[in-house]
Structure 1
Amino acid sequence: MLEKLFKLSENGTNVRTEVLAGATTFLTMAYIIFVNPSMLSATGMDKGAVFVATCLAAMIGCFVMGLVANYPVAQAPGMGLNAFFTYSVVLGMGHTWQVALAAVFFSGLCFIALSLLKVREWLINAIPMSLRIGITAGIGLFLAFIALQSAGIVVDNPATLVHVGDLTSFPAVMASLGFVLTIAMVHRGLKAAVLLAILIVTGLGILFGDIQYNGIVSVPPSIAPTFMQLDFSGALDVGLVSIVFAFLFVDLFDTAGTLVGVATKADMVDKDGKLPRLSRALLADSTATSVGAVLGTSNTTSYVESVAGVAAGGRTGLTAVTVGVLFLLALFFSPLAGMVPAYATAGALFYVAILMMSGLVGIDWRDLTEAAPVVVVCLLMPLTYSIAEGIALGFITYAAVKLLSGKGREVNISVWVIAALFAAKIIFL
C-alpha cells in the first residue's frame, strides 16, 4: 500500500528511511508546539486550545502535503505569520483575534484560488528578488525584536521608546542561555537543538521555582475556545483588505521559497527547472491555512526545516505523513507546553531570525535602487511593529526609486499596481 501511495522504489527510498527522515524533520520543528501557543495567547486566545489547534493544523497540513502532493515537506503554523497575527493585527491595530482568524481564513481561500487559477507563477516571478529577500529578512528582525521584549532584555522607555532592561533578571539570563545553547547545539549538528534548548530552559525555570510543575502527559485540552470562532463580519471591513493581502503575500512567497529549496535538495526539480506536482503542493499549503484558521491558529505553511529530513534520506510524502503522526502524538504533552514560559522560547525566535536574515547576502549592495528598498523593509517592520506596513513601504520605495532613477522599465507592471494600491491605502484609509 505504501509503495503504491508514495512510489518509494521509484524515488530510491524505503519505509525505514522515510520514517527516520520524518522523525528528524519533526525534531527540528517541534519547537512550534511551544512557541505558537505562547505567542498567540498574548492576544487573549486560550493557550491550551491554541496548542491543540497548532498540533492538528500541522498534522492536517502534513497529511495533505504527503498524500496529495507526495512531497517530503512538513507543515505547521508559520513563524513570522504568527507574529504578524499577534503583534500587528491584534495588539497593534486593535482587531480582535476572532477577526484576525477570519482574515487568515480568507487569505487561505485566496491562496487556494491562486493555486487553482495558475496565477501563482505570475505573482512569484513578478516580485523582484530583492524585495522577496528583504521581506523575509525584515520578518526575521521583527521576530528578534519580539524575542528581546519577551525576555525583558528590551523594555519600554517614555523618552527613547525602547531601552535596555535588567540584564541580570532571571528571564533575561535564561533567554540568553537558551539562545547560546541553541546556536551551540545547531553547530554541533543536533537535530533537536531548538527543542532541547527550550526544554532545558523550562527545566531550569522549574528547578529555580520560577515555573510550577504541572506534569508532562495528559489528555489534550479542549479546542472549543478557539474552534469556529472566526468573526467574518469584522474581517469584511475594507480596512482589513491589506491585512488579508499581507497574510496571503507572506505565506505565498514563504511557501514557494521553501518548496523550491527542499525540492532542489531532494533532486526533485525536472530538467526545465520546474517542480513536479507544484499545484498540489501549493493547494495543500493553502488548504491547511484555511483549516487551521477554523481550528484556531494563524497561517499554516511549509517548513524549511524539512531540509533536515531530506538530508536524512526523505524523498516522498511518507516523510511528511510521519511528521503528521508525530504532531498528533504531541497532543498528549499539553501540560509540558503549558509550562513553557516566554523567555524559554525567546532563544528559538532569535535563532529563526538569524536564519531568515541570512538571505541578505544575495542582495547587490552596489545597486542602491535594489538595496535601498530592502533596508526600508528590514528597518520599518520592527520599528513600526507591523509586517504589513513594512511590506507596503518597501513596495512604494522600490517603485519610486526605480522611476526617479530612470530604471522604471525594470519594474514589472504588477509591482506598479501593488505599490499604487499600498499608496492609496495609506492616503485614503
Structure 2
Amino acid sequence: MLEKFFKLRENGTKVQTEILAGLITFMTMAYILAVNPDILAVSGMPRGGIFVATVLAATVGSAMMGLLSNYPFALAPGLGINAFFSYTVVVGMGYSWQFALLAVFVEGLLFLTLSVTSVREKIFNSIPTPLKAATAVGIGLFIAFIALQNGKIIVSNEATYLGIVNFQKVDMHTEGVWALLTLSGIIITSTLLIKGLKGAMLFGIFGTWLLGILAEIFGLYVPYADTGFYSVIPDFSHYTGDLSIAFREFGITCGALFEVDSWTHTVDGAVVGQGFSLIKSLDFFVVMFAFFFVDMFDTLGTLIGVSIKGGFLTKEGKLPRASKALSADAIATSAGAIFGTSTTTTFIESAAGVTIGGRTGLTAVSTALLFLSSILFAPVFLSIPSFATTPALFLVGFLMMGSITKIDFAKMRDAIPAFVCMLLMPLTYSVSNGIMLGIISYTFIHALIGKIKEVHWLMIVLSFVFILKYALM
C-alpha cells in the first residue's frame, strides 16, 4: 500500500530509507518543541497550551505535506516569525495574542487562495535558475550558521559582533564542554559520512548525545538551567502532572482567535480599541501582510533549496505539484492558528532527511507521526541537546553548497544577484530577506544594463512590491 500511494520505486527509494529520513528530519527539528513555547509565552499565552499546539501544528502540517504533495518536506511553527508575533505585534504594538492569532489565520487563508489559483506556483516558476541555485546555497550557509551558534562554537563578540568561542573565558562545565561536544560530533559524523556508513547522521546524533550523557554522569558537564544549560538525561519524574497541565492550558489557546472580546489594543496598558473595529483598522492588514510575506518567501525559499538538493526540479526549474505543496503549507498555517501557535511553515531542516535519501511524502508523514508521539515521549525528545543535532545540520549545510556549481560566475548580471541572495540569508537570519533582495537586485541590474526583457514580468512586479514592503513595514 505504501509503495502504491507514495510511489517509492518510481522515486528510487524504499520504506526503510523514508522512515530513517523522517527520523533524522524530526530530530533536527525537535528543538522547536522547547523553543516555540519560550518565545510565544512572552505574549502571555500559557506555555503548556503552546507546547500542545506546536505538536499538533507540526503533525498536521507535515502529514498534509506528505499526503497532498508526496514531498519529504516537514513543517512546524517557524522561528523568527514567532518572535515577530510576541515582541512586535503583542508587546510592541499592544495587541492581544488572540488578535495576532487571527492575523495568522487570515494570512493562511490568503496563502491558500493564492496557492489554489496557482499564483504562488507561477511566482515559484518565475524565479530564474541562478537565484534558485543561490537559494539552496544560502540555505546551506544559513543552516550551518545556525548549527554553529546552537553548538556554542559561534558566539557574540563585542568587537566584531560574532566570533569563535574562547575556551579560556567560558565556563568549561557548561558552554565550554558544550562546544567541545559539538566539535567532537562534527568530526565523528563527518568520518561516518566519508566512509559511506548508511545512517551516518543518525549515528552521529546518538553518538554525540551519548558522549554528552557520559559527560554529565562524570561531572564534566554540569546542567545550569538559569543560563539555558539543561540536563541531557531524559527525566520522567514530573511528566504526568506536566502533561495534564499542558492539555488544560491547550483548552485556553485552542480556538482563542475567535474570541472577539479578546481582540484588544492597548497603549501604555490602557485599552484603546476592541472587537471587530480592530479588523477594520490599518494595523490589522499591516500585521497580516507582514506574516504573509515572511511565510510566503520563507516557504518558497525552502522549497527551492531543498528541491534542488533532492533533484525534484524539472530541467526548466519548475517544481511538479508545487501548488499542492504550497496549499499544504497554507492549510497548516491556518490550522496552527486555530490550535494556538504562530505561523507554521516548511522547515529548512527538511534538507537533513532529503540528504540521506528521503524522496517522498512518506518521509514527511513519518516526521508527523514522530511529532505526534512527542506528546507521550516529550522528556526524551526535549532532552536532545543542540550539540547532538548540530553536526548533522552543519554537514547538511556543507552538502547543500554543491548547488553553487549551477551559478555561472562569469555571467555577472546573474551571479551578483545570486551572491546577494545567498549571502544575506545567514547575515539577516532570514530566508525571505535573501530571496526578496536577490530578486530586487536581479531586476534592477538587468534594467540598468538594458536586459530587462530577460526578466519575467512577475519578477518586476515582485521587485516593486518588495520595495514597498521594506518601505512600509
Give the TM-score normalised by the residue count of structure 2. Answer: 0.70
> 1:181 is aligned with what amino acid?
I
Shift of 1:126: 1.0
> 1:141/1:310 Cα in 2 relative to 1: closer, same or farther (>3 Å)?
closer
> 1:73 is aligned with what amino acid?
P
- Aligned match of 1:373: 417
> 1:141/1:369 Cα in 2 relative to 1: closer, same or farther (>3 Å)?
same
1:301 equivalent to 2:321? Answer no
Task: Write the distance in 1 (CA, Å) between the matches of 2:8 and 2:76.
Answer: 28
Write out aligned runs for 1:2-401 (5 A). Answer: 2=1, 7=4, 20-41=16-37, 43-45=39-41, 52-65=52-65, 67-68=67-68, 71=70, 73=72, 75-77=74-76, 82-85=78-81, 98=97, 105-167=105-167, 169-187=176-194, 188-190=197-199, 192-193=202-203, 195-196=205-206, 199-200=209-210, 202-204=212-214, 206-207=216-217, 208-210=221-223, 211-212=230-231, 213-215=233-235, 219=240, 221=243, 222=246, 224=249, 227-228=254-255, 236-238=284-286, 241-255=289-303, 279-295=323-339, 296=341, 298-301=343-346, 303-304=350-351, 307=354, 321-401=365-445
Task: Write the distance in 2 (CA, Å) between the matches of 1:175 and 1:202.
Answer: 10
> 2:299 is aligned with what amino acid?
D
Shift of 1:277: 6.0
Task: Write the distance in 1 (CA, Å) between the matches of 2:429 and 2:66.
Answer: 36
Task: Write the distance in 2 (CA, Å) between the matches of 1:194 and 1:298.
Answer: 31
Q: Is there any run of 5+ residues in structure 1 with no aligned partner, and where? A: none
SS in 1 for 2:198: coil
> 2:344 is aligned with what amino acid?
N
> 1:164/1:262 Cα in 2 relative to 1: closer, same or farther (>3 Å)?
closer
> 1:365 is aligned with what amino acid?
F
> 1:49/1:32 Cα in 2 relative to 1: closer, same or farther (>3 Å)?
farther
Task: Write the distance in 2 (CA, Å) between the matches of 1:112 and 1:138.
Answer: 26
Shift of 1:417: 1.3
Q: Is there any run of 5+ residues in structure 2 with no aligned partner, and where? A: 169-175, 224-229, 264-277
Task: Write the distance in 1 (CA, Å) between the matches of 2:390 and 2:316.
Answer: 42
Shift of 1:421: 1.9
> 1:279/1:150 Cα in 2 relative to 1: closer, same or farther (>3 Å)?
closer
Task: Write the distance in 2 (CA, Å) between the matches of 1:331 and 1:353.
Answer: 29
Tell me, yes or no, if the aligned pair for 1:133 and 1:359 is still in contact at 8 Å: yes
Task: Write the distance in 2 (CA, Å) between the matches of 1:390 and 1:277.
Answer: 24
SS in 2 for 1:339: coil
Shift of 1:53: 3.9
Task: Write the distance in 2 (CA, Å) between the matches of 1:346 and 1:333.
Answer: 22
> 1:420/1:164 Cα in 2 relative to 1: closer, same or farther (>3 Å)?
same
Residue deviations 1:37-78, cap 9 Å, x none? 344355254776555444433432344345555x26353328
Shift of 1:238: 1.9
Shift of 1:246: 2.4
Shift of 1:376: 1.5
> 1:30 is aligned with what amino acid?
F
Task: Write the distance in 2 (CA, Å) between the matches of 1:92 and 1:144.
Answer: 27
Task: Write the distance in 2 (CA, Å) between the matches of 1:272 and 1:163.
Answer: 41
Tell me, yes or no, if the aligned pair for 1:28 and 1:308 is still in contact at 8 Å: no
Task: Write the distance in 2 (CA, Å) between the matches of 1:11 and 1:142.
Answer: 30
Tell me, yes or no, if the aligned pair for 2:39 and 2:86 is still in contact at 8 Å: yes
Name the % identity. 31
Tell me, yes or no, if the aligned pair for 1:402 and 1:408 is still in contact at 8 Å: yes
Tell me, yes or no, if the aligned pair for 2:104 and 2:333 is still in contact at 8 Å: yes
Task: Write the distance in 1 (CA, Å) between the matches of 2:353 and 2:164.
Answer: 36
One of 451, 456, 461 as aligned partner of 1:407: 451
Tell me, yes or no, if the aligned pair for 2:23 and 2:367 is still in contact at 8 Å: no
Give the TM-score normalised by the residue count of structure 1. Answer: 0.76
Shift of 1:153: 2.5
- Stretch moving more, 171-180 or 192-201: 192-201
Number of aligned positions between the proteins: 412
Shift of 1:368: 0.9
> 1:354/1:243 Cα in 2 relative to 1: closer, same or farther (>3 Å)?
farther
Task: Write the distance in 1 (CA, Å) between the matches of 2:424 and 2:312.
Answer: 32
SS in 1 for 2:156: strand
Tell me, yes or no, if the aligned pair for 1:260 and 1:275 is still in contact at 8 Å: no
Task: Write the distance in 1 (CA, Å) between the matches of 2:295 and 2:5.
Answer: 35
Tell me, yes or no, if the aligned pair for 1:21 and 1:310 is still in contact at 8 Å: yes
Root-mean-square deviation over aligned CA pairs: 4.2
Residue deviations 1:376-410, cap 9 Å, x none? 22223333344444333222211121112221111
- Stretch moving more, 294-303 or 273-282: 273-282
Task: Write the distance in 1 (CA, Å) between the matches of 2:422 and 2:331.
Answer: 30
Task: Write the distance in 1 (CA, Å) between the matches of 2:88 and 2:214.
Answer: 33
Task: Write the distance in 1 (CA, Å) between the matches of 2:151 and 2:319.
Answer: 41
